[in-house]
Structure 1
Amino acid sequence: MNNNKTPGSADEQLADIAKEFVRQNKTRTRWRMVLTLLFIGYFGFISYLGIEESGLLEETLKKESPFVAEVVLSGTIQTAGEINADDAMQLLDDAFKAKNSKAVILRLNSPGGSPVQSSQIYQGILRLKKQHDKKLYVVIDDVCASGCYYIAASADEIYADESSIVGSIGVVISGFGVVEAIKKLGIERRLYTAGKHKGLLDTFSNEDQLAIAHIKKNILDKSHQNFINAIKATRGDKLSDHPDLFSGLIWLGKDAEELGLIDGIADADYVASEIIGVDVRVIYEKEKTLLEELTEASAKGIALVISNKLIAQEVISPLH
């Protein structure tokens, strides 16, 4: 009797084990589904908040009616800098091509940089204006000097704040000379070149006067003249005949207006609503990396906490 029950008991045990295995698998599957749905919901919620916070939805809706495309360029002008021809022209191309954009405002804030990158952006803007038959207005923020003004000169009209720094129409090459210093330290400079003037800008060698004259005549002066020609080609009769206009000096907004470097004192909002005649503006600017966005958000959060703390202390302190 016992021998007959043993196989049955083993079968029952195996069946129970199989049922338990299936039950556990179903439970795990349910939890996986629940967790997946929760993750999708959470991700969707965060994405919605991100879109809402970034204003992407609002910007998209704005583009359905007439608007002013506002391109923002800020930083130094270099091939791999904050402002470079490739990135700048992509933004400007998008702004000009936008179906409902009635004009383009270029917001500039830069101390200058590469004459090549500046020239490429200048020439690119002239081409876009001609292709799309749209006007471009430059609005200067804190500073627009040197290569930045080269870019600004491509505009139909230029505006700035009374305290904006404008100008520095010139070209510079700089360096250091430490010949006497290394002599005092007992250091011997060893420089080997193929070409008599190949080491002309070497910090540790004596100045080569012939090479310096060459740089002045063929690099600095010619680059400066290219800069001046570009400005005269677009600003034309607006420019004054002030003897220091192209000397590399800088001026504040009002003086820059008197010199013909800018057309007036105004901000982007005024230019859009009063000069162009369209209140709605859509911002075009270089996309930030996730790390940059997180860093900026963290910095803003910390600043807000500190600000609230300071305000609370100011309110409470008079009571003590």
Structure 2
Amino acid sequence: MNTKRWFAIIIATVLLVVSIGFQFVSSFATANFSDMFTLMDQKYEEEIIQEGMGDKIAVLYLDGVIQDTAPSTLVNTTSYNHKQFLEMLNEAGEDESVDGIILRINTPGGGVVESDEIHDKIEEIQKEKEKPIYVSMGNTAASGGYYISAPADKVIAHPATLTGSIGVIMEGYDLSELTDKWGIDFNTIKSGKHKDIMSFSRKMTNEEREILQTMVNDMYNDFVKVIVDGRGMSESKVKELGDGRVYTGSQAKKNGLVDELGSLDDTIAYMTKDYQLDDVQVVKYNEPMGFREYLGISLGSLFTKEKELFNVMDVIRESNAPRAMYLYSN
């Protein structure tokens, strides 16, 4: 390559770096820096979605897979944050100005432990703070999404909502035939014969399958009990419905898994009427826009196409071991 071509490449590279830097600085120049550090003083932000001077309803959005993992890249700042959601739920329960809570759920479910933590926090607020909690289902409120809906005082779904998927799933990979084909050997040193259970480097034994099936059955029975207690249904009825299939909101209404059909606005109207709330103010709880979020949005605007790749990388990074899930996946 001659000198002129090298010079042209260097000039182009410099211009590209300068262009990206200019866009980055410009995005920060237009930001409200006084708001960037609110995360230090404020756990959440209230956005008024219905004006009112009387009683108050707080709406909390749960979007994405329910798992206790924080986004690992600056670009990915919008995935579900388990710790933040539990804090918001707790704040709504503790806030004496809040008369009722609505959970707007749009999730295929997620981790068994995380789902149970949300379920327990809902019951705690209902018993200790005596506040009604309603659920408004979005596109999907399946498996773990239904698990956390079961104890709600009223559940409202859209007719086309996908819900149900009552059950537990545990998945892993068996790549032993592929590794044999390519002559790949694994050297595993373990303290017990089941330490590498569900390893992708070998086939699962019948004994191991029985061990895992027993675990899944125990967690499924816990799921069934949550619905029995929360929905007042018989165990036999729950098990009849709980074979893992999903239901539309209309089907769920017919079989008793949800109480009413409607939107978020309908859910607000139901709570207002049921508890005779007056001149209601409705606020939406948002995660505060701190420095990290501003930085992530700025970077995300520069790397729009790469953002989906970063999200996929987050999922891969967090799925390095098999785990039991209350999760609907198609």
For normalisation by structure 1, the TM-score amounts to: 0.70
- Note if 1:269 corresponds to 2:262: no
Identity %: 26
Is the Cα contact below 8 Å between 2:46 and 2:285 reproduced in 1?
Answer: no
Question: Separation in 2 of the partners of 1:299 and 1:253?
Answer: 37
Is the Cα contact below 8 Å between 1:240 and 1:259 reproduced in 2?
Answer: no
Structure 1: gaps of 5 or more residues: 1-41, 301-320
Higher share in helix? 1
1:128 corresponds to which letter in structure 2? I
- The equivalent residue for 1:92 is 89
Match of 2:129 among 132, 149, 159: 132
Shift of 1:245: 0.9
Match of 2:113 among 116, 120, 123: 116
Q: Secondary structure at the match of 2:189?
A: coil
Shift of 1:153: 1.0
Shift of 1:186: 2.0
Question: Separation in 2 of the partners of 1:127 and 1:246?
Answer: 26
Query: What does 1:298-309 correspond to in 2, within 5 Å?
Result: none
Query: What does 1:10-29 correspond to in 2, within 5 Å?
Result: none
Match of 1:291 among 290, 295, 299: 295
Q: Secondary structure at the match of 1:152?
A: coil
Q: Secondary structure at the match of 1:189?
A: coil
Greater displacement, 225-234 / 180-189: 180-189
Query: What does 1:154-165 correspond to in 2, within 5 Å?
Result: 154-165=151-162
Is the Cα contact below 8 Å between 2:90 and 2:121 reproduced in 1?
Answer: no
- The equivalent residue for 1:280 is 281
Question: Separation in 1 of the partners of 2:269 and 2:50?
Answer: 19
- The equivalent residue for 2:219 is 223
The 3 A distance-change label for structure 1 pair 57 and 133 is: closer
The 3 A distance-change label for structure 1 pair 108 and 57 is: closer
Question: Separation in 2 of the partners of 1:175 and 1:167?
Answer: 23
Is the Cα contact below 8 Å between 1:96 and 1:132 reproduced in 2?
Answer: yes
> How many pairs are equivalent?
252
Shift of 1:84: 5.2
Structure 2: gaps of 5 or more residues: 1-28, 39-44, 71-78, 305-330
Bigger radius of gyration among the two: 1
Shift of 1:200: 1.6
Question: Separation in 2 of the partners of 1:60 and 1:262?
Answer: 25
Match of 1:237 among 221, 233, 237: 233
The 3 A distance-change label for structure 1 pair 293 and 168 is: same
The 3 A distance-change label for structure 1 pair 201 and 258 is: same
Deviation track 1:250-271 (CA, whole Å, cap 9, x = no partner) reads 0110001111111111112112
Is the Cα contact below 8 Å between 1:65 and 1:100 reproduced in 2?
Answer: no
Of structures 1 and 2, the one scoring higher in RCO (CA 8 A, sep 6+) is: 2
